[in-house]
Amino acid sequence: MIKGKVLFFVSLGLVLGGVFFQACSSPSSTQPPAVAKEDPSFAGDIQLIFNGSCAASSCHGASVQAGLSIVQGQSYANLVNIGSTEDVSRKRVLPGDAANSYIVIKLEGRQTVGAKMPIGGSLDAVSLQNIKNWINKGAKNN
């Protein structure tokens, strides 16, 4: 009888532990999407990338590097059709043209001024592709 109860509680613990692990490891609304989207939204996809990789690192959050704050509520207005402070010939985000948007140039390490972003690392390929797709689809504020 005792072995049966022990086996029951061990099994229950494994099931509950698996459910807990699944809930903790599944993507949440505060993480960038795990797949590249053809037409990502700014609020639902792009801002999440900025929150996790750019604003949270204090580079473009509490500490404003290159005059650019990309915290939620400020980022769109500070990026789209705004001139870069490092390369005044370029826009930070040029709607419809990711290849010539300074943010992509910096994320890919093609800049001639300043450092590659994020400093000391890089965005994962899916996040970078989502940023490019968002820009190429017109950099909508959606």
Q: Decide if 15 is inside a domain.
A: no
- DSSP character at residue 137: T
Query: 112: Cβ–Cβ under 8 A, 6 or more apart, which residues?
Result: 87
Asked whether 128 and 107 are in contact (CB, 8 A), the reply is yes
Number of domains the chain contains: 1
Q: Decide if 17 is inside a domain.
A: no
Q: Decide if 48 is inside a domain.
A: yes
Asked whether 91 and 117 are in contact (CB, 8 A), the reply is no
What does the DSSP assignment read for 38-87? SS--IIIIIHHHHIIIIITTTTBTTSBGGG---STTTHHHHHBT-B-SS-
Domain range for 128: 36-136
- Tens digit of pLDDT per residue, the chain (142 long)? 555 544 444 443 433 333 322 332 333 345 655 889 999 998 888 888 877 665 455 565 455 555 666 666 678 988 899 999 899 999 999 999 999 999 999 999 999 998 888 877 788 999 999 999 999 999 999 9
Nearest alpha-carbon partner for 53 in 139, 125, 129, 121: 121
Burial grade of 85 (CB within 10 A; 0-12, 13-18, 19 or more): middle
Neighbouring CB atoms inside 10 A of 135's CB total: 25
Residue 132: both structure tokens together: 């490019």
Asked whether 128 and 33 are in contact (CB, 8 A), the reply is no
Q: Decide if 47 is inside a domain.
A: yes
Q: Decide if 73 is inside a domain.
A: yes
Q: Decide if 30 is inside a domain.
A: no
Q: Decide if 14 is inside a domain.
A: no
Q: Decide if 119 is inside a domain.
A: yes
